[in-house]
A and B are shown apart, each in its own frame.
Chain A
Amino acid sequence: MATSNPSVFLLTVNGQIEGANFPEFDNLYCKYCFVYGHDWTPTSGLEEGITQITCKGNQSSHKLIWNFPLETTFKSTSPCGWPQLVVSVYGPDVFGNDVVRGYGATHIPFTPGQHSRNIPMFVPEPSWRLQKFTSWLLGRRPEYTDPKVVAQGEGREVTRVRSQGFVTVSFHVMSKDMKKMGYDTGPSNPANTHPYSATSEEQL
């Protein structure tokens, strides 16, 4: 019944937050959550989570590795408000206060298959220099009222941010029934990429 006449399509996202590259910081952990539109509902898996604290190894790479699995399935009726993964990285500062080290967001890839994303991270800047000093002193860096702010465009113009490292995420995306509902996200196959050029050649 459902297969013949689906009213929702499913999007399964597996993958993991592999790690991060923050050259200046250590002992970081990461929070993630999904931001999605009204037409989306998570059906299984965790919508948000928090990783372990990791510190850099002695190897030359100096990468922070979390290898934190993501497993979520969404159901939806329309691609409007396609889910985004919002990650925010926290870690202790000099005085041991937990401060934010970066916010970042990426859309879940549209096409089924394996994808890897390198999310650039940023943090809001103090509005003026003295504040920067006091925030450092008090261990209260400016933070977004909600990490989900980074997944939307509204109101961002009032903030000022500094870029800060990268987080690497890998995705394995599967979708079901999308094509039946008329959304074609599949990779374009070579047979139908140039239908018109072939035709025109024939005519020539």
Chain B
Amino acid sequence: RLQRLKDRDAVTRFDREVNRTERHDAPLSLSTRVKFREAARRVRLKTRLQSWPPTAEEAYNFFTFNFEPDPQDKTEKTTRKIKKQGKKDEEDRDGEGESDEQEHNEEDEDKEDLFVIDQSSQDFLEVKKAEYIRYHKRAEKDRKLLFTPSFQTVQTSLKLPENIKPRYLEDEGLYVGERPPVSRTNENIMENRILKAEEKWFGDDGRILALPNPIKESSTRPPLFHMEEDLDSGLQTVYRKAVKSKYANLYIAGTTEPEGDYQLDVDVSGLIFSHHSLFSREHVLGSRLVQLYDQYLSRQNNNLTGHLTDKVAPTMNTVWRLSKYFGFLFLNVSKRTNNIPWYISFGCYRNTRQLRDGEQEKDRTLLKNIIKVWKEIKALRDFQKFTNTPYKLYLRRENVDRVSDEREYEREIMAEVVELEAEKEEEYQRKLAEYKKQLEEWKLWRKKQAQADAEDDDEDRDVSESEGPVEDGPSKPEPPEKPDLDSTEQGVREKASRIRRKPGEPILIPELSASGNITTSDVCPRPEVARREDVARRSLFIKILYNNKEVTRTVSRSLNSDFRVHFGQIFNLKIVNCPQSICLQVYEEIGSSCSLLAQVFVPVPEPSVLTGSGVIEEFEFSSNHRVMFDHEGVGSDVPLSLEADGSNKQILLTSGKVACCVSWGIGEDDVPLAPPVSQQPGGLHSGMGRFDAVSYIGASGLYDMKKIGEWATQSRLDPNDPNNASIMQLLQVASSGEVTAPDYFRLEQMQEEFNFVTDEELDSSKRFRLLKLRNQGVPEFRNYKMVPPFEREVTEKVFQEYEKRLKEGNIVDTKEHLDSHRALVATYLQKIRESVINRFLLAKHHYLLSDVVIEEEIPSIGILGINIFKLAEPKRPLKPQRKERKKVTAQNLSDGDIKLLVNIIRAYDIPVRRPQNNKPGQSSQSAIQSSDWILGQVQVRPFVEVSFQRTTLQTTTADGPNPSWSEELQLPFSAPNGDYSTSSLQSVKDEVFINIFDEMVDKDRGKSINTRIERHWLGSIKIPFSTIYSQSKIDGTFKVNTPAVLLGYSKERGNGGYDTWRLSEGTFITLFITIEPQLVPGEPVREKFDSQEDERLLQASERFEREASQSYPDRPCITTVIDLNGKTVFITRYIRPLNPPQELLDMFPNNPQEAMALVARFVSLIPSLPDRVAFSGTCDLWSTCDQFLTFLAGDEEEHAVLLCNYFLSMGKTPSLIIGTAIPEGPTAYVLTYEQNRYLIWNPSSGQYYSQYDTFCPLQTIGCLVTSDNVYFNIQQYTSPMRVSFDTGKANLWKPFFSRSFSNPGLSSVQPEQLVYRRIDKGAAAELQDRIEKILKEKIMEWRPRHPTRWNRYCTSTLKQFLPKLEMSGGQDLAEGHRHELQSLLGDHRISGFPLHLPFSEIRPIIEAVYSTGVHNVQASNVEFALAVYVHPYPSNVLSVWVYLASLIRM
């Protein structure tokens, strides 16, 4: 071991010493040990003798003594040394000091050993008193040694260098971060300590320098909880095998195809060195020449000089000419008037000229340089006696016409001279003016001075003397020099000769060619040959790095003597990663070793740059490698002088250009293999990233920009604080005005992000359209099942019906309406209907608890009581009451479930047959005889036929004019489209026709057994289904609509007891109609409409209606109504005097009674159309009178309001009755006071009833409305007979406007006056013909099995009757009428009647004709007569008369 140690020792130099000591050491320690041992033995012997047990000393020695043999001890020691040695080796380089120290330690150890030997065992221990230093003493000592910094605040002045005030950076606007929190005491202590240490630790503000607080407020790492059981499942670590994404493709971020088929074509065409280390001097010059020549060519291309010369020339010519013709006169002129306008324009001319001069100078220098370099090359070639470069410069001379050239030259110079002189003159004049001014001032001052001097002279001379030089005013100005005009010309000529071609000198055009020969190597001197060999050894190649990864490399090409390398290789890079960088590395290869010369970064091409369209670009590169050669090569980064004397040294770096082209490839079928344009490289982020969040949101962000700005200034945001960077940027953008706040505000600013197709696509797609329409609840698609899943499966057929309907909405079938005006109205009505339907769509979705939950009602005490009474009731009462039935909601019904029950009870005053009288003259006689004759004859055999939805049922035949049937007919009901929803049922337009017929058995005068049953129509009632549905039952006695003339029948004034109390005339029938099961009528819309009424008025009306309905639930009370715009309007606004058509008033100028009847007739001729049918919703819209007259269709209310307004204008005092009537239900009538009696007018029929008329259809009177107030009926009874109409009595009628709440003077919603359109007789005649034609066709259609013959003679006769009927207002003209007919058609039995209808559409007329059953006459010899008369009234109100008759030849 030792041996090895020694070997190693030799390596280091320090160890020599160590070695030496060791060598000394070993024998020394050996001897000492021995001595020590002996001493110890001696001690032991001695002590053994002394005593047993051994003393402490002995024991100590025993345990501490080393019994090991010496040699072993030595080896141990040496091993320790080796260890140390090793350590030393390591630290060898660290420095001598350290190893020295170690050495010392070692020596110390050795010394200790020695010391131990000298000491006896007794010397080891010493017993002493414990040393104690008093506290204050120690503190004193400490104070001497230690410095305890005080915690007093240090004054700022101490901390800063003397005489420097603290500087607060924050106040100066610099960013000072938040300091880490340190307590004040600690800081003070620290400061004191630093002060003591005299270190530079204080900043400018006198505080300790500190970095900003690094602690963030919030933790940036999500909290992790390590409680196993609590760990959220989402946070549980799950082992997933690492899946290497096959394509880390940024392009596929959006696209689905994983093989992002993109290709980059890199075309590396070549490389040219502009300097290379192996360039010879000639090469250097050559490349310089090439550069200069390139420059020359490019300048020549731009031809800036020529351009500027052209610009200058015209002005130049002018100046020259002027100077030529006027000579000095011109100059003088310019001298005197130095600001004439044309002269000013020289300003820009001068600039242009200067520019031109500059360019010319450049051109000239360039040319000179080229020639100079070429000369240098030539010189060099001569000098070195060989040629290295093939460059040759030719200078082509282009001779010019000397004379003209000279003239041009002179002219230019002259022009310039003139101009310059003018300029100088101008300058001189300005200076002169200035001089004169100054001179004046000076003179003035002198004068003053002279005066002052004169005054001061005597008094204190000293002062003036001393002051004199101090107060010296402006010195006498120097007059300006006259411009030296001669020198200008000189200067101009000098300049021209410098920058311009001399006149007559040929134009030199350099041409560079590389056609020269290069001297072959064998002729060249040695160093050049070496250089050439070196060149030949080298070859170059280019590595192509894509995203910093080598993709490919070109073949290596050897370097040519012209230092151009041609590669001409195109690499197709199929890429999957987004191109971030494309780099070309130029490598130089010498033998096997290659070195990187330079790298060139090529920009990633735009996606539009495709192969073929890409242009080869040159990218410059250079490298700063230092290369030196000992041959002719000039090297790189080495000073080089081209001069013969070695001056003008230059340092050239290897540089050059790479010609290459990067473009996107083109696929097989000309598909560009480029990524889509929208996906910018690095556009991994969604589109969101590209937008500035604020501008994307629109105004919302910028909305408060001002406030943010204010806040920022108030709170003094530190603009340098990185935390505030975003806000500051925002403010900057906002304040700079670049982003102006848009006017719009986007609610769903992210909508576009979530759209799965574009709106256009959504619109164009048939499938989406189908889904949309179904969702909107369009009737055609509401129940559309199984919308096809694909666009292609949706056929156009689906939409045909819907589109047809839409089209019909616009183009109204003229055939259906017969009248253009009505067609227009129909479209308008359709539009209103749509808007109303939209309005109610929301309201439809309001649910009530009863719609959703079935709940038993609580039986009240009253009901319980009644139920108890019921127990005592007779089982079969004589007059049974109708019981309430359970209501059924309409939704779960189907076809056939609903039945219409019509209970026909009895009829009164049915017309009776007139005895057959062939001879008209006997009529009066027969009348006298009638009383006994009647008894023998059958008066009438009436039966009732009910038809509904083309189902017809009839009762049995009864006898006599006052029959009693008491029969129940059940008619099935089917809803349109099988839709039994409330809204659908409400809009059913079907009507129930109740016709009374007379059954006539014709026995053919008893000759044969053939009996023929005929039936003759006597009258009818029609009740709309919607009325039945909304009323749920109709119970009462109705007036039967009988024709004005009933041929063959007479209206028998019944002789029964009824007459005594009955006032009104006509036939009546008692009916009960209901629907089984009882359907729940639609609830009125539960929605509050907006209104322009006063809020107080609205509240009052609400209160009024609520109180009314609470105390009298069965009395209708209306104070506010909804107008066509869907707004709530107070009802009295509808009442206003309005003029009836003048034509009507003119008819009966003297008879107000008749006029009223006529006006009522006019109103009744306007067709009636219930709102709930029109608008298919439960709502009651009130239109104003002008709207009503325009639509020519309206509810009872509109009729009533119009009638009431007419009566008002006629000087009556009518009021509107809001009440219920049969069969309409809640309705409006008009009340007038005439001749001490009240008349009740039914506006829809034009009939009027006396207050005490039994058969008045009005059943309940709820309230009365006048133009200024509403009165609610608070009397005990509601029927008109028992009601007092004296509204002045407060205990009978409760007024809406009373003394406490007076009428605020509500203005009317009605127009000031009504404008009527004139009567259009032509249109009426046309309509008349059309109706007649259609009806005839229909009748023939209804009689398919029999021929229908028309009796023209009869028809024409009937036609004449009809206008008379219209004139008489349908009054009974039967007698004369009949006689006339009889006389005309003596041998025919005629039965017929005129029908009278208001005109709305053709369909109701056809229905009415059908329901009379005239066509059902089966007799073979029957003939028909049909006459139609349309009487026009103003505003296109039409009264239609249809006279139907059947004739049977006797």
Interface residues of A (CB under 8 A from B): 7-9, 38-41, 76-78, 80, 124, 126-127, 130-131, 134-135, 138, 140, 142-146, 149, 154-159, 181, 190-191, 195-196, 198-200, 202-203
A145 touches B788 (CB 8 A): no
Cβ-defined contact, B790 with A7, below 8 A:
yes
Question: A142 with B786: in contact, given A158-B847, A203-B248 (CB under 8 Å)?
Answer: no
Q: In the complex, are the beta carbons of B847 and A155 less than 8 A apart?
A: yes
Contact A77 B786 (CB under 8 A): yes
Q: Considering the complex, which residues of chain B in the window 844-882 have a beta carbon less than 8 Å from any beta carbon of chain A?
A: 845, 847-849, 851-856, 858-859
Q: How far is the CB of A188 from chain B (nearest CB, A)?
A: 13
Measured in the bound complex, the distance between the Cα atoms of B793 and A7 in whole Å is 8
27 CB < 8 A contacts A-B: A7-B788, A38-B786, A76-B786, A77-B788, A78-B771, A78-B787, A78-B789, A80-B771, A126-B855, A131-B856, A135-B855, A142-B853, A143-B853, A143-B854, A145-B851, A145-B853, A145-B889, A146-B892, A149-B852, A156-B852, A157-B847, A159-B849, A159-B852, A198-B243, A199-B245, A203-B248, A203-B250
Q: Is the C-beta of B85 less than 8 angstroms from some C-beta in chain A?
A: no
Are B856 and A134 in touch, CB under 8 angstroms? yes
A-facing residues in B674-705 (Cβ within 8 Å):
684
10 more contacts with CB within 8 A, not counting A41-B785, A158-B849, A199-B248, are A39-B785, A39-B786, A80-B771, A124-B853, A131-B856, A143-B854, A145-B889, A155-B845, A155-B851, A158-B852
In the bound complex, residues from chain B placing their C-beta under 8 Å from that of A144 are: 852-854
- Find residues 208-258 in chain B having any chain A CB closer than 8 Å to their own CB: 240, 243-245, 248-250, 253
Q: Quick check: B793 and A142 within 8 Å, CB to CB?
A: no
List residues of B (783-800) whose CB comes within 8 Å of A's CBs: 783-790, 793
Are A154 and B847 in touch, CB under 8 angstroms? yes
Let me know if B787 and A77 touch, CB within 8 A. yes
Contact digits for B601-614, partner A, Cβ 8 Å, 1 yes 0 no:
00000000000000
Q: Name B's A-contacting residues (CB within 8 A).
A: 240, 243-245, 248-250, 253, 684, 771, 774, 783-790, 793, 845, 847-849, 851-856, 858-859, 889, 892
Give the 9 A-B residue pairs with the shortest CB-CB distance, closest first: A155-B847, A202-B248, A198-B245, A77-B789, A140-B856, A142-B855, A124-B853, A158-B849, A142-B853
Residue of A nearest to B845 (CB): A154
Contacts of A158 in B (CB 8 A): 847-849, 851-852
Which A residues are in CB contact (< 8 Å) with B243? 191, 198
Q: How far is the CA of A53 from the CA of B790 in the complex (A)?
A: 46
Task: Name B858's contact: one of A7, A76, A130 (CB within 8 Å).
Answer: A130
In the complex, chain A residues whose CB is within 8 Å of the CB of B771: 78, 80
Contact B784 A38 (CB under 8 A): yes
Q: Which residue of A131, A155, A181 is within 8 Å of B855 (Cβ)?
A: A131
Q: CB-CB < 8 A to B848: which residues of A?
A: 158
Q: Does B858 contact A145, Cβ atoms closer than 8 Å?
A: no
- Cβ of A142 and Cβ of B854 under 8 Å apart? yes
A200 cross-chain contacts in B, Cβ below 8 A? 684
Give Cα A94–Cα B248 distance, bound, in whole angstroms: 71
Question: Contacts of B858 on A, CB cut-off 8 Å?
Answer: 130-131, 134
- Asked whether, in the complex, the Cβ of A202 is within 8 Å of the Cβ of B245, the reply is yes
- Shortest Cβ distance from B248 into A: residue: A202
Distance between B791 CB and nearest chain A CB, rounded to angstroms: 12
Measured between beta carbons, the chain A residues less than 8 angstroms from B853 are 124, 142-145, 159
* CB atoms of B852 and A155 under 8 A apart: yes
- Residues in B neighbouring A135, C-beta threshold 8 A: 855-856
Name the residue on B nearest A195 (C-beta).
Answer: B245
Q: How far is the CA of A156 from the CA of B240 in the complex (A)?
A: 46
Structural contact, A38 and B849, CB atoms closer than 8 A: no
A134 contacts across to B, CB distance below 8 A: 856, 858-859
A contacts with B: majority SS: mixed
Give Cα A198–Cα B684 distance, bound, in whole angstroms.
Answer: 13
Q: In the assembled complex, how far is the CB of residue B375 from the closest CB belonging to chain A, in whole angstroms?
A: 59
A145 to B849, alpha carbons, bound, how many Å? 10
Residues of A within 8 A of B244 (CB): 198
Q: What's the minimum C-beta distance from A197 to chain B, rounded to whole angstroms?
A: 9
**Complex: how many Å from CA A195 to CA B248?**
9
Chain A residues near B774 (CB, 8 Å)? 38
List of B residues within 8 angstroms of A149 by Cβ = 852
Contacting residues, chain A, for B786 (C-beta < 8 A): 8, 38-41, 76-77
Closest Cβ neighbor of A190 among chain B residues: B240
Contacts of B245 in A (CB 8 A): 195, 198-199, 202
Shortest beta-carbon distance, B199 to chain A, in Å? Answer: 44
Q: Report Cα–Cα, A159/B248, bound state, in Å.
A: 56
Instruction: Using A38-B783, A77-B788, A145-B889 as known contacts, say yes or no to A196 and B253 having CB atoms under 8 A apart.
Output: yes
Judging by beta carbons under 8 Å apart, are A8 and B789 in contact?
A: yes
Q: How distant is B360 from chain A, measured CB to nearest CB, in Å? A: 57
What residues of chain A lie closer than 8 Å to B845, measured between beta carbons? 154-155
User: Quick one: closest B residue to A143, CB to CB?
Assistant: B854
**CB of B995 to closest CB in A, whole Å:** 40
B798 to chain A, nearest CB (A): 14
B852 smallest CB distance to A (angstroms): 5
Collect the chain A residues with CB atoms within 8 Å of residue B851's CB: 145, 155, 158
Bound complex: CA A112 to CA B788 (Å): 23
Q: Which chain A residue shows the least CB distance to B242?
A: A198
> A41-B785, A198-B243, A202-B245 in contact; A127/B790 too (CB < 8 A)?
no
In the complex the two chains form, is A38's CB within 8 Å of B847's CB?
no
The residues of A that contact B849 with a CB separation of less than 8 Å are: 127, 158-159
Q: With A142-B853, A154-B845 given, is the CB distance from A199 to B787 under 8 Å?
A: no
Kindly state the separation between the CA atoms of A78 and B249 in the bound complex, as whole angstroms. 34
Tell me the minimal C-beta distance from A149 to chain B in angstroms: 6
CA distance A130 to B856 in the complex (A): 12
CB neighbours (8 Å) of B684 from chain A are 199-200, 203
How far is it, in angstroms, between the C-alpha of A80 and the C-alpha of B243 when the chains are bound? 36
Collect the chain A residues with CB atoms within 8 Å of residue B787's CB: 38-39, 77-78
Output the least CB separation between A189 and chain B (Å). 11
Q: Identify the closest chain B residue to A191 (Cβ).
A: B243
What separation, in Å, do the CA atoms of A154 and B253 have in the docked complex? 41
A8 to B248, CA, bound (A): 38
Instruction: For residue B1051, give the distance in angstroms from its CB to the closest CB of chain A.
Output: 54
Which of B248, B771, B789 has the most chain A CB within a 10 Å cutoff? B789
- Closest CB in chain A relative to B28 CB, distance in Å: 69
Q: Which residues of B contact A124 (CB under 8 A)?
A: 852-853
A134 to B864, CA, bound (A): 14
Give the shortest distance, in Å, between A196 (CB) and chain B (any CB): 7
A182's nearest neighbour on chain B, judged by CB, is B789
> Which A residue sits closest to B857, measured CB to CB?
A131
Report how far A185 CA is from B202 CA in the complex, Å: 69
Task: Give every chain B residue within 8 A of A9 (Cβ-Cβ).
Answer: 789
Residues of chain A with a CB closer than 8 A to B859's CB: 134
Minimum CB–CB distance for B787 against chain A, Å: 5
Asked if residues A127 and B855 are in contact (CB atoms below 8 Å), the reply is yes
Would A181 and B789 count as touching, CB distance under 8 A? yes
A144 to B253, CA, bound (A): 51
A203: chain B residues within 8 A (beta carbon)? 248, 250, 684
Nearest B residue to A134, CB-CB? B858
In the complex, the chain A residue whose C-beta lies closest to that of B785 is A38
Q: Please name the residue on chain A nearest to B245 by beta carbon.
A: A198
Complex Cα spacing A199 to B783, Å? 48
Query: Smallest Cβ distance from A97 to chain B, in angstroms?
Result: 12
Q: What chain B residues lie within 8 Å of A126 (beta carbons)? A: 855
Q: How far is the CB of B797 from chain A (nearest CB, A)?
A: 17
**Chain A residues positioned under 8 Å from B248 (CB to CB):** 198-199, 202-203
A202 to B250, alpha carbons, bound, how many Å?
A: 10
CB distance from A37 to the nearest CB of B (A): 9
Contact among A145, A191, A199 for B250, CB-based, below 8 A: A199
Tell me how far the C-beta of B441 lies from the nearest C-beta in chain A, rounded to whole angstroms.
Answer: 80
User: Which one of B244, B847, B889 has the greatest number of beta carbons of chain A within 10 Å?
Assistant: B847
B258 to chain A, nearest CB (A): 10
List of B residues within 8 angstroms of A191 by Cβ: 243
CB of B622, distance to nearest CB on chain A (Å): 32
Closest residue to B889 on the A side, CB-wise? A145
CA distance A196 to B684 in the complex (A): 9
